[in-house]
């Protein structure tokens, strides 16, 4: 597009090229249409305030380029996460200048900046890789320490704690069977034998004495 125009491309021109359907000249969505309309209104106001318009003078064109870019930035709300809405790859060609405005840098002068940016990104990636490796090592150490601690705790616990205690179910007691009545037994009388009475010693002596007296 820059080769076709023979000059640097403005951000609003890139936006119109990428957000307008070919053949219908309609914007792809409502946001695109409103953004371009607000930009056109804003640019007309700024140019009328400064009494400026694009001229063959390089200085005047440079000033108008700054105003044109700043109008677009004001409308879209500035860069967000390093990106400028509607600018695409051209966002890297706009750098901050005095007064907080964005100034367009020619593509020829952006090559050294791109090289520095690539070098800086490479350094950041290497630094990020080192940090990730350090975090991975710390995670491995913590995991090993946790495993060792868990092993110590498991050894300290009683073995019975590992297996759940089982209580045998209570067996129901058998109900007592009803008592069977027995017929009464007949009791036979026991015969009583008379006990012979033995005479006492005194009586025996008396009997002996009486016999002696008779004999006398």
Q: Does residue 65 sit in the same domain as residue 127? A: no
Q: Considering the domain boundaries, does residue 162 fall inside one?
A: no
**pLDDT over 70 (residue 209):** no
Q: How far apart are the first and last CA of the chain?
A: 188
Q: Does residue 70 sit in the same domain as residue 117? A: no
Q: Does residue 60 sit in the same domain as residue 149? A: no
Q: Number of folded domains in the chain? A: 2
Q: Does residue 101 sit in the same domain as residue 16? A: yes
Q: Considering the domain boundaries, does residue 206 fall inside one?
A: no
The answer to whether 47 and 64 are in contact (CB under 8 A) is yes
Q: Which of 4-18, 96-110, 113-127, 135-149 has the lowest mean pLDDT?
A: 96-110
Give the span between the Cα atoms of 93 and 105, in whole angstroms. 5
Q: Residue 115 is part of which domain span?
A: 109-157
Give the span between the Cα atoms of 72 and 102, in whole angstroms. 10
Q: Considering the domain boundaries, does residue 77 fall inside one?
A: yes
The residue among 33, 38, 104 whose CA lies nearest residue 67 is 104
Question: Quick one: CA dihedral 122, 124, 127, 128, positive or negative?
Answer: negative
pTM comes to: 0.37
What value does the mean pLDDT take over residues 63-77?
A: 81
Give the span between the Cα atoms of 68 and 43, in whole angstroms. 6
Paired tokens of 150: 């868990």
Give the span between the Cα atoms of 13 and 33, in whole angstroms. 13
Q: Does residue 68 sit in the same domain as residue 95? A: yes
**pLDDT over 70 (residue 99):** no
The residue among 30, 24, 66 whose CA lies nearest residue 46 is 66
The predicted structure's pLDDT at residue 38: 87
Count H helices, E strands: the chain? 6, 2
What value does the mean pLDDT take over residues 16-27?
A: 81
* Final residue of a structural domain among 122, 142, 157: 157
The predicted structure's pLDDT at residue 107: 46
Measured from the Cβ of residue 12, the count of other Cβ atoms closer than 10 Å reads: 20
Q: Does residue 102 sit in the same domain as residue 10? A: yes
Q: Does residue 91 sit in the same domain as residue 123? A: no
Buried b (16+ CB within 10 A) or exposed e, 116-133: eeeeeeeeeeeeeeeeee
Q: Does residue 47 sit in the same domain as residue 130? A: no
The predicted structure's pLDDT at residue 110: 45
Give the span between the Cα atoms of 82 and 100, in whole angstroms. 15
- Local confidence band at 109 (pLDDT 50, 70, 90 cut-offs): very low
Q: Does residue 99 sit in the same domain as residue 11? A: yes
Q: Does residue 94 sit in the same domain as residue 33? A: yes
Q: Does residue 89 sit in the same domain as residue 119? A: no
Paired tokens of 110: 């952006």
The predicted structure's pLDDT at residue 139: 92
**pLDDT over 60 (residue 101):** no
Q: Considering the domain boundaries, does residue 96 fall inside one?
A: yes
Q: Considering the domain boundaries, does residue 18 fall inside one?
A: yes
Q: Does residue 60 sit in the same domain as residue 79? A: yes
Give the span between the Cα atoms of 136 and 139, in whole angstroms. 5
Q: Considering the domain boundaries, does residue 208 fall inside one?
A: no
């Amino acid at each position: 597009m820059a080769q076709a125009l023979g000059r640097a491309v403005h951000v609003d021109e890139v936006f119109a090229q990428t957000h307008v359907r070919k053949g219908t000249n309609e914007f792809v969505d409502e946001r695109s249409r409103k953004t371009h309309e607000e930009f056109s209104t804003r640019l007309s106001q700024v140019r009328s305030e400064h009494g400026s318009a694009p001229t063959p003078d390089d200085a005047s064109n440079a000033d108008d380029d700054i105003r044109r870019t700043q109008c677009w930035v004001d409308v879209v709300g500035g860069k967000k996460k390093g990106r400028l809405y509607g600018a695409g790859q051209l966002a890297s060609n706009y750098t901050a200048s005095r007064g907080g405005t964005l100034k367009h840098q020619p593509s020829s002068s952006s090559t050294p900046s791109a090289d520095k940016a690539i070098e800086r990104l490479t350094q950041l990636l290497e630094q990020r890789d080192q940090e990730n490796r350090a975090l991975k090592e710390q995670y491995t150490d913590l995991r090993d320490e946790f495993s060792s601690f868990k092993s110590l705790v498991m050894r300290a616990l009683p073995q019975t704690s590992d297996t759940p205690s089982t209580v045998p179910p209570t067996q129901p007691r058998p109900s007592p069977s009803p008592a069977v009545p027995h017929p009464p037994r007949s009791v036979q009388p026991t015969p009583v034998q008379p006990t012979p009475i033995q005479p006492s010693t005194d009586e025996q002596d008396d009997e002996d004495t009486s016999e002696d007296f008779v004999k006398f």
